[in-house]
Amino acid sequence: MFDLTTAEFARLNELGEAEAWANYYLCAPPEFAREIRLKVQSIGSVKITAIPGIDFNIFNRIIGLGVGTPATEAMLDQAIAMLQDAGVKTLCVQLSPLAEPAQLVDWLKTRGFTHGSNWAKMIRDNAPAPAVQTDLRVEAIGREQAGILTEVAITAFGMPPQLRHLVGGCVGKPGWHHYVGFDGEQPVSAAAMFVSGEVCWLGFGSTLTSHRKRGGQAAMFARRIQDGLALGCKWFITEAAEDTPESPNPSYHNMLRAGFRLAYLRPNYVRKATLIPG
């Protein structure tokens, strides 16, 4: 697909996302990061992120394992230990189906991990952004408007209020570009992108319940793609929960309409940590 080798395809999808999320966490104000015990660690290109007080996969995970460099059992055990030492309750390994070696799944199962949900990894080349019609106004924002974006995202995602400093920490930082959608003067949607070289990761797309189905996120995708192309990006990557008949995902369909294709379904392998009382 896209005239890439399997290894290149895996690195593009996994390491681009891993770099964006690691950078996002590292943008958090230092005092706040200490307060919530936020940690970002690396083993080569593998990223390990932890916020132990929030028992949710996206905050506590291992990403990029077996991509770029084949994994070893020692590497896996080291990454697991990092999450356990941080006090994470539920460990999550997001494993690309292109990761090496093939025995990785068996290694996870012997360590007590089970296959949970899947994420759809999406990819797009540098084709022009699609034309989108919406009655919302999309604007690029800077640091002075970080609070506006933060309130929209916190409300739309139903995130814990204490994460305000994390959500807004990367606004205005190098590589980051943020957008807010307005209905008149009311901010109702938000989105971000992280640019690293020729790769653009798109994330944090969110719209208030009251303003959904009005083309806001479609417009956000189009604007980010347009701006990414202007910055010289050749590849656009993002992800969403798997779309199934039982649990349809509107975000996934917005991505398809924006020109993304399904790269692959990436499983989440999860395990409850065995914590030693201290």
pLDDT at 25: 96
Task: Answer yes or no: are the C-beta atoms of 44 and 69 closer than 8 Å.
Answer: yes
Predicted confidence (pLDDT) at residue 275 exceeds the cutoff of 50: no
Q: For residue 255, which phi and psi values (nearest 5 degrees)?
A: -65, -45
- The residues spanned by each domain of the chain are 6-121+265-272, 137-233
Beta-bridge partners for 238:
122
Q: How many helices (H) and strands (E) does the chain have?
A: 8, 11
Structure tokens, 14? 């996994």
> Cβ contacts of residue 244 below 8 Å, gap of 6+?
none
Question: Whose structure tokens read 């083993």?
Answer: 43
pLDDT at 1: 54
Euclidean distance between the first and the last CA atom of the chain, given in angstroms as a whole number: 50
Peptide bond into 174 cis (omega under 30): no
Residue 261's SS3 state is strand
pLDDT in tens, 132-143: 999 999 999 999
Q: For residue 71, which phi and psi values (nearest 5 degrees)?
A: -75, 160
Nearest to 113 by CA among 161, 69, 77: 77
pLDDT in tens, 217-251: 999 999 999 999 999 999 999 999 999 999 999 99
Which CATH code for domain 137-233? 3.40.630.30
